[in-house]
Amino acid sequence: MPTSKLNIFVVIMLLLLGAALQAAEEQPLPEAPWGAGLRELKRLHPDVMRSYAGLDGRSRARIQRFRSFETHFGIRTETSYDFVGRRLFQVEYNFQQPNDLTFKLASSELATRYGAPLSSSESTLPTGGLFAERSLSDTVWRRPGLDISLRRIFSRFANGTVVRQMFVVMRSGDVLRSDSRPLQMQSDAEMEKSGAVLRLAFAGGFDPQRLKNGATLDGVKRLLDQADLAVATLDGALAEAKGASPDGPLFAADAEGAALIGAAGIDIVSMASGGAVSAGADAALVGADLLKRAGVETVGFGRNRKAAEKALLLEIGGLKIAVLAFAFFGNAESCAASDFEASTDAPAFSGSCAEALRFGYDVAARVAEAAAQSDVTVALFGWDAAVGRCSDEAQLLLTDAAWNAGADLVIGHRRGVIQSLRGAPGKAAFISCGDLLPASGRDAAGLIFIAEINRAGLVSYDFKPLLFDGEGSPHKAADDEARRIMDDLRAQERRCNEDRENNKGNNR
């Protein structure tokens, strides 16, 4: 971002040297005037600038986050500075224990600088059994090349305790583009302190029938192999019923297809999808067994509800990982999960036909239980009930339920639809990765989401958009095409956000 665009930021960066950071936290915090620019860095924090100047080329090629503690409007504030190479593209202010006056002062300061906001909204949040009252307000300003948002969250617990949260985020509107740089959320010093980093790859849904018709996964095998753990969603049948015998039903089993899935580098398959049972529940169980024999673990569907809901627990590089899968089918009259809910001893989804708010309590309980046993928790969702290209209220509510219960990564799947990234400190959610191997006869869209994570949370993430050839085989898009796909996704998300704001205004 040009320097002239940065005069809104107070640039006091995290002291990378431990002793300097400790000394800064022990001393009274100075009142930092808003409006300092990038040019102030060298004068305010020469130690930080020397450390940053000393980064090698590989480190500078990544996006890095530095944290500092400052004082704004008399309130202690945790401030995060995100750099692309030498360019500061985002500053996030997290006000510690703000009050109503803090909010008024911040609103007034931003209005003075940027005029009337582009949008302003207020809404209530689900209270559950923990809260008596929760509300959220968002105010957004937009200028050429710059987005500013002010968010306030008010929570009154059932015991009467009141908690106020306030965030201001200032971001360049034109720096973040899809290219070869992963988005790094921790500094090198934080990464070294937190130990081993795992690389996880999340792909979309695959229909094994395409493998019989000439499609391959060769074009993405390297991306999947480079990950410590690669995950995808089963969106078709690996077996189908072929009559019966005195010993029981007979199945045509696609053992070769299961072996190809394993050979492509996929380690875990979510079966929390209506496509996984397209040939029936018993055939789905046969398919799960084929994948197991091919060295691929499955989650989200099992011989009974207990097996379906069980978290997969793994240990890689000294880190304990928990993976859960949920299928959300909504309130539709025709609900794929309803056929498997009659008995606790019958094949079952880890999913629900219930409304999202009620299902969210189950999601939160199971994620919290898994998070208590692991260093990294991943929640996978199959969004069979979703419609349209925008993330709907149910998707957002269930994503938040998983996040709040301790999930570090939330990854979803919808056929033929890529839905955008959401972020929180140390966490990420990619609502839908779309397709990996699409069913024949329909349009395809997909990407592979790459996340690096350690005990402290999300380290970095990156996107690998895919293109599909005439056989349906996925290939990593070239840089120009990848930028176009990600630009289209961002434009779609902006339209979705505008639609949500308009709907809120019409409902008030």
Q: Which of residues 119, 151, 172 is at a domain's end? A: 172
pLDDT at 87: 62
Determine whether 104 is exposed, middle or buried from the number of CB atoms within 10 Å of its CB (0-12, 13-18, 19+). Answer: exposed
Residue 177 counted as domain residue: no
Based on the domain organization, do 78 and 210 belong to the same domain? Answer: no
Based on the domain organization, do 245 and 295 belong to the same domain? Answer: yes
pLDDT at 23: 33
Residue 390 counted as domain residue: yes
Based on the domain organization, do 149 and 196 belong to the same domain? Answer: no
> Which has the closest alpha carbon to 121: 100, 133, 135, 132?
135
Residue 178 counted as domain residue: no
CATH of the domain at 301: 3.60.21.10
pLDDT at 468: 93
Domain count, the chain: 2
Return d(Cα 451, Cα 465) in angstroms, integer. 14
Based on the domain organization, do 147 and 270 belong to the same domain? Answer: no
Based on the domain organization, do 280 and 324 belong to the same domain? Answer: yes
Return d(Cα 141, Cα 111) in angstroms, integer. 9
Based on the domain organization, do 304 and 273 belong to the same domain? Answer: yes
> Which has the closest alpha carbon to 327: 357, 358, 352?
352
Return d(Cα 287, Cα 385) in angstroms, integer. 23
| Residue 188 backbone class (left: φ over 0; alpha: ψ -120 to 50; beta: rest) | alpha
Residue 503 counted as domain residue: yes
Q: Could you list the pLDDT tens digit for every one of the 508 residues in the chain?
A: 443 333 333 332 222 223 332 333 333 333 344 433 444 444 444 554 555 555 555 554 455 667 778 788 888 888 877 766 556 677 888 898 899 899 999 999 888 888 899 889 888 877 766 778 888 899 998 877 678 889 998 888 888 888 899 999 887 654 433 333 455 666 666 777 777 889 999 999 999 989 988 899 999 999 999 999 999 999 998 988 877 777 777 778 889 999 999 999 999 999 998 888 888 888 899 999 999 999 999 999 988 888 989 999 999 988 999 999 999 887 655 555 555 454 557 778 787 777 777 888 889 999 999 999 999 999 999 998 788 888 888 888 899 899 889 999 999 999 989 988 877 667 888 999 999 999 876 788 999 999 999 888 888 888 899 999 988 999 999 988 988 888 888 888 888 877 777 775 554 4
Provide the terminal-to-terminal Cα distance of the chain, rounded to the nearest Å: 37
Based on the domain organization, do 257 and 145 belong to the same domain? Answer: no
Q: Which of residues 145, 172, 199 is at a domain's end? A: 172
Angle at 379 between CA 378 and CA 384, to 5 degrees: 150
DSSP state letter for 96: S
Based on the domain organization, do 309 and 353 belong to the same domain? Answer: yes
Q: Which of residues 113, 146, 172 is at a domain's end? A: 172
Based on the domain organization, do 168 and 239 belong to the same domain? Answer: no
pLDDT at 359: 85
The domain of 319 spans 183-507
Based on the domain organization, do 393 and 330 belong to the same domain? Answer: yes
393-407 as b/e: b if 16+ CB within 10 A: ebbebbbbbbbbbbb
| Residue with tokens 């990464």, as numbered in its chain | 191
Determine whether 207 is exposed, middle or buried from the number of CB atoms within 10 Å of its CB (0-12, 13-18, 19+). Answer: buried
Question: Token pair for residue 333?
Answer: 């009259």
- Do residues 362 and 323 make contact, with C-beta atoms less than 8 angstroms apart? no
Question: Token pair for residue 84?
Answer: 């692309």
Based on the domain organization, do 467 and 341 belong to the same domain? Answer: yes
Residue 219 counted as domain residue: yes
| Residue with tokens 């009337």, as numbered in its chain | 116
Report CA 425 to chain centroid distance, whole Å.
Answer: 11
Based on the domain organization, do 463 and 495 belong to the same domain? Answer: yes
Residue 462 counted as domain residue: yes
pTM: 0.67
